[in-house]
């Protein structure tokens, strides 16, 4: 296989998606997750809203979108795990397989992210039962805080839910990603969107909707700090799942004939729309109840239950909402593991089952650093705060942007125009030229400037 000439199409070792729609669903399932519903509102709240949101939207469209396209095109061209693909295409295009490093760092980022992602997803799962059993009924802002504090503050409870979530994730990855995932995303993602719209109706009527719109969309540029700009950039990568090879791994299973540009735009639009929707649901409740928008990682868990506790049928809505959120997190978690598992299978020649459980076990253990960050180790802080805070900052704001930078420089500068046009649009039309301009100039320069700005160089 290694001797194939570059122009001959390769075949993926792990199967292919049944259709373009299946691929869109899988990447959308990866993109839409806790990043949209849990992280976006809380970091927007911590960074002053408006200007931060605007800056994030710019990062998504000018940096995230071209990088997503770069990942898909590289993945599809290589058709292997991200390490092998980067090595192979690097060798083909520039005579060095050292680019494989990008894949290795990406796998590391995926492992680190999943270790804390699973902890937060565990909370969402725990809230399914709290919601259904009526624990939210009639709670006020203080009581909601106490309820959340009880969960996060308990190493046993948080650790147990983290364990449950990791087992769920590994069980799917062990079976192979294409099967099952596709059908589930097809039904559950629209259900999550529909439920967010129902909640939006509630927030418009019962919350401080005008205040929320003002907070989210009126830019007060003086409130966007240097660090806030880097966090917005990092979140653009995190929410789109780019910069670590997840999309590259899925791109490896994309049949040749499908348009990369249209597919990526659809995914980016859906992901961004869901984040905006989540903000417009949560902030009206936050402001109407006098909560602090800068509450931190507990924001969704302390705002939505207030609404669920007051609305008619709130128990069902609460249970349904947190179940769909857990599901959205699950499809993201699967994609965080896939590059590592595909790599283990291809390199160590072990079976998928063994690879998935071995990697899952390591990630589960690592996850306890985050579990304990909210309870027994909450006083152990360094650099950015607890272990959890540091892991989150390191991965989302440093590793993903650097990985994305390497990927986009590779696609824009190292790969020949023929190779990239061949994947995106063999006619090299205007959309290809727009991509190439963003990939060569705008995205890399913007990432570098935001980094330099964050460390105070100008
Ligand atoms: N995009 C996912 C979310 O928003 C998280 C994720 C990041 C998944 C990186 C895969 C890779 O929840």
For residue 35, give the ligand 1 atom closest to its CA.
4
How confident is the model at residue 1, as a pLDDT? 38
* CA pair distance 290, 262, nearest whole angstrom: 42
Q: Which of 227, 314, 287 minimizes the C-alpha distance to 52?
A: 227
Counted domains in the chain: 1
* Residue carrying the six token digits 């306890």: 368
Q: Which of 277, 160, 237, 247 minimizes the C-alpha distance to 392?
A: 237
For residue 336, give the ligand 1 atom closest to its CA.
10
pLDDT 10s digits, 369-409: 999 999 999 999 999 999 999 999 999 999 999 999 999 99
Within-domain flag for 11: no
Distance 341 CA to ligand 1 centre (A): 17
Residue 322 has pLDDT above 70, yes or no: yes
398, 420 Cβ separation under 8 angstroms = no
Within-domain flag for 57: yes
Per the prediction, the chain carries an average pLDDT of 94
Within-domain flag for 109: yes
For residue 31, give the ligand 1 atom closest to its CA.
1
* CA pair distance 55, 219, nearest whole angstrom: 9
Q: Ligand 1 pocket: which of 35, 107, 331 to mutate (most atoms <8 Å of CB)?
A: 35
- For 311, the domain range is 22-454
Distance 33 CA to ligand 1 centre (A): 6
Residue 176 has pLDDT above 90, yes or no: no
Q: Ligand 1 pocket: which of 238, 243, 272 to mutate (most atoms <8 Å of CB)?
A: 238
Task: Name residues contacting ligand 1 (CB within 6 A).
Answer: 30-31, 33-36, 113, 238-239, 241, 244, 246, 332, 335-336
Within-domain flag for 10: no
* CA pair distance 433, 428, nearest whole angstrom: 7
CA distances from 213 to 50, 89, 270, 452 (A): 9, 46, 20, 31
pLDDT 10s digits, 145-162: 999 999 999 999 999 999
How confident is the model at residue 177, as a pLDDT? 63
For residue 240, give the ligand 1 atom closest to its CA.
1
Two structure tokens written together for 213: 């719109």
Mind giving me the DSSP string for 244-286?
SSHHHHHHTTS-TTS-HHHHHHHHHHHHHHHHHHHHHHHHHHH
How confident is the model at residue 180, as a pLDDT? 62
Within-domain flag for 5: no
Distance 7 CA to ligand 1 centre (A): 32
Within-domain flag for 4: no
Angle at 219 between CA 215 and CA 220, to 5 degrees: 95
Within-domain flag for 40: yes
CATH number at residue 285: 1.20.1740
Within-domain flag for 243: yes
How confident is the model at residue 178, as a pLDDT? 65
């Amino acid at each position: 296989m290694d001797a194939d000439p570059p122009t001959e199409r390769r075949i993926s070792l792990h199967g292919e998606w049944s259709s373009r729609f299946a691929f869109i669903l899988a990447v959308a399932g990866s993109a839409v997750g806790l990043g949209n519903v849990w992280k976006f509102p809380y970091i927007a709240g911590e960074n002053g809203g408006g200007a931060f949101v605007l800056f994030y939207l710019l990062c998504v469209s000018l940096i995230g979108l071209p990088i997503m396209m770069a990942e898909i095109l590289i993945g599809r061209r290589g058709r292997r795990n991200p390490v092998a693909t980067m090595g192979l295409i690097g060798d083909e295009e520039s005579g060095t397989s050292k680019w494989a490093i990008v894949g290795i760092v990406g796998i590391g980022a995926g492992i680190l992210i999943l270790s804390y992602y699973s902890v937060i997803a565990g909370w969402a799962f725990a809230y399914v039962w709290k919601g259904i059993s009526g624990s939210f009924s009639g709670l006020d802002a203080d009581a909601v805080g106490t309820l959340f504090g009880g969960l996060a503050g308990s190493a046993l409870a948080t650790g147990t839910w983290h364990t449950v979530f990791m087992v769920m994730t590994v069980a799917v990855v062990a079976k192979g990603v294409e099967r099952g995932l596709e059908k589930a995303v097809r039904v559950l993602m629209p259900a999550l969107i529909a439920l967010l719209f129902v909640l939006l109706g509630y927030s418009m009527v019962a919350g401080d909707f005008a205040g929320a719109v003002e907070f989210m969309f009126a830019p007060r540029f003086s409130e966007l700090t240097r660090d806030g700009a880097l966090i917005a950039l990092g979140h653009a990568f995190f929410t789109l799942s780019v910069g670590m090879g997840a999309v590259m791994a899925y791109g490896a299973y994309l049949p040749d004939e499908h348009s990369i540009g249209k597919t990526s735009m659809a995914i980016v639009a859906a992901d961004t729309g869901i984040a905006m929707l989540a903000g417009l649901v949560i902030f009206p409740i936050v402001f109407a109840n006098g909560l602090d928008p800068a509450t931190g990682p507990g924001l969704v868990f302390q705002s939505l239950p207030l609404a669920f506790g007051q609305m008619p049928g709130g128990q069902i809505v609460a249970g349904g909402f947190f179940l769909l959120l857990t599901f959205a997190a699950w499809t993201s978690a699967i994609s965080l593991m896939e590059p590592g598992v595909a790599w283990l299978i291809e390199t160590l020649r072990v079976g998928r089952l063994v690879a998935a459980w071995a990697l899952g076990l390591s990630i589960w253990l690592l996850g306890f650093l985050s579990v304990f960050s909210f309870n027994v180790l909450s006083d152990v802080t360094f650099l950015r705060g607890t272990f959890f805070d540091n892991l989150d900052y390191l991965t989302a704001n440093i590793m993903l942007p650097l990985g994305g930078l390497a990927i986009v420089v590779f696609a824009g500068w190292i790969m020949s125009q023929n190779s990239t046009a061949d994947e995106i649009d063999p006619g090299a039309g205007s959309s290809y030229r727009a991509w190439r301009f963003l990939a060569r100039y705008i995205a890399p320069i913007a990432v570098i400037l935001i980094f330099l700005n964050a460390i105070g160089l100008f």
